[in-house]
C-alpha cells in the first residue's frame, strides 16, 4: 500500500513492512519506484508499471494494464503492405517509416471524400523531388483493431504515391518490432 507521497519519493507498505523509496530504488520484494509526486507514484511490480495514489495497494491486488492490440504485417516483395481504413473507407497502405505523415494521391483522396483542395498547400520532398501537396487531418485511421483519430496527412494531387504511405503521424503511436520477417505494431498508449 502507498502510505506516503512526496516529490521523487514514496512510502510503500508491503507485507506489513514500510519502505521509504527514492526514484529508481527497489524494495527487497522487487517493487521499484519509477516516479512520484504529491498525488501519485508510478511503481514497477513484476515488470509491469502502474499508477498508485495514496492508500492504493501494491502487490497481490495489483493488476497489469490490459494488453495493447497488435497488428502483424508480413512483407510482400520487400515491402510491408497492409489494408486499413480512412474515415471508414478501405485503403491499401505501404508502411513507410521515412514518411513523416500519411501520404495519399488525389484519386484516393477523392474516393475517400476528402475536400483536400481547400486545405493548406505545402511543399513536400518525395522520391521524385519536391511536390506541391495539401496538408490535412484524417478523422479516423484504422489498422486491424486499432484506430487513431485526427491523424496528419498530405494529399499529392496526382497519381503518386500509387499506394497510400502509412507514415509516422500514425506509426509514432506504435512500438514496431521485427520478428523474423514479420513486423508487429503494438499500440503504445
Q: Is the peptide bond before 165 cis (omega within 30 degrees of 0)?
A: no
Mean pLDDT of 23-43: 89
CA-based torsion, 26, 32, 37, 38: positive or negative: negative
As a whole number of angstroms, the distance between CA 70 and CA 61 comes to 27
Strands 182-187 and 70-73: antiparallel
Please compute the mean of the pLDDT values over residues 15-26 and round it to a whole number. 88
104 pLDDT higher than 90? yes
Q: pLDDT tens for residues 44-65?
A: 888 888 888 887 665 544 444 5
Question: For residue 63, is it within any domain?
Answer: no
Q: What is the mean pLDDT of the chain?
A: 89
Residue 163 confidence class, pLDDT cut points 50, 70, 90: very high
Within this chain, do residues 10 and 98 fall inside the same structural domain, yes or no? no
Q: Which long-range contacts (CB under 8 A, 24 or more apart) does 14-21 make?
A: 14/58, 14/59, 15/59
39 and 96 housed in the same domain: no
Average pLDDT over residues 116-124: 95
The dihedrals phi and psi of 169, each to the nearest 5 degrees, come to -60, -25
Question: What pLDDT was estimated at residue 59?
Answer: 53
- Kindly state whether residue 39 falls inside one of the protein's structural domains: yes
In a domain, 172, yes or no: yes
**Structural domain for 9, as ranges:** 2-52
Q: Is residue 166 in a domain?
A: yes
Give CA–CA dist 9/25, Å, rounded.
Answer: 9
Q: Are residues 79 and 170 in the same domain?
A: yes
Q: In this structure, are residues 124 and 104 in contact, taking their beta carbons and an 8 Å threshold?
A: no
Q: Does residue 117 sit in the same domain as residue 178?
A: yes
Into how many domains does the chain fold? 2
Least confident of 100-104, 142-146, 147-151: 142-146
Amino acid at each position: 500500500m502507498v502510505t506516503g507521497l512526496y516529490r521523487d519519493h514514496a512510502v510503500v507498505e508491503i507485507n506489513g513492512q514500510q519502505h521509504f523509496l527514492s526514484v529508481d530504488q527497489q524494495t527487497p520484494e522487487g517493487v521499484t519506484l519509477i516516479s512520484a509526486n504529491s498525488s501519485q507514484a508510478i511503481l514497477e511490480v513484476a515488470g509491469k508499471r502502474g499508477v498508485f495514489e495514496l492508500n492504493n495497494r501494491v502487490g497481490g491486488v495489483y493488476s497489469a494494464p490490459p494488453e495493447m492490440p497488435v497488428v502483424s504485417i508480413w512483407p510482400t516483395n520487400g515491402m510491408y503492405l497492409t489494408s486499413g481504413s480512412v474515415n471508414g473507407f478501405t485503403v491499401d497502405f505501404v508502411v513507410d517509416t521515412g514518411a513523416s505523415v500519411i501520404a495519399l494521391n488525389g484519386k484516393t483522396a477523392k474516393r475517400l471524400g476528402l475536400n483536400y483542395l481547400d486545405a493548406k498547400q505545402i511543399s513536400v520532398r518525395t522520391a521524385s523531388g519536391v511536390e506541391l501537396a495539401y496538408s490535412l487531418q484524417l478523422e479516423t485511421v484504422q489498422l486491424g483493431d486499432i484506430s487513431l483519430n485526427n491523424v496528419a496527412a498530405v494529399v499529392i494531387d496526382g497519381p503518386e504515391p500509387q499506394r497510400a504511405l502509412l507514415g509516422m503521424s500514425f506509426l509514432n503511436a506504435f512500438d514496431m518490432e521485427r520478428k523474423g520477417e514479420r513486423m508487429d505494431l503494438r499500440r503504445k498508449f
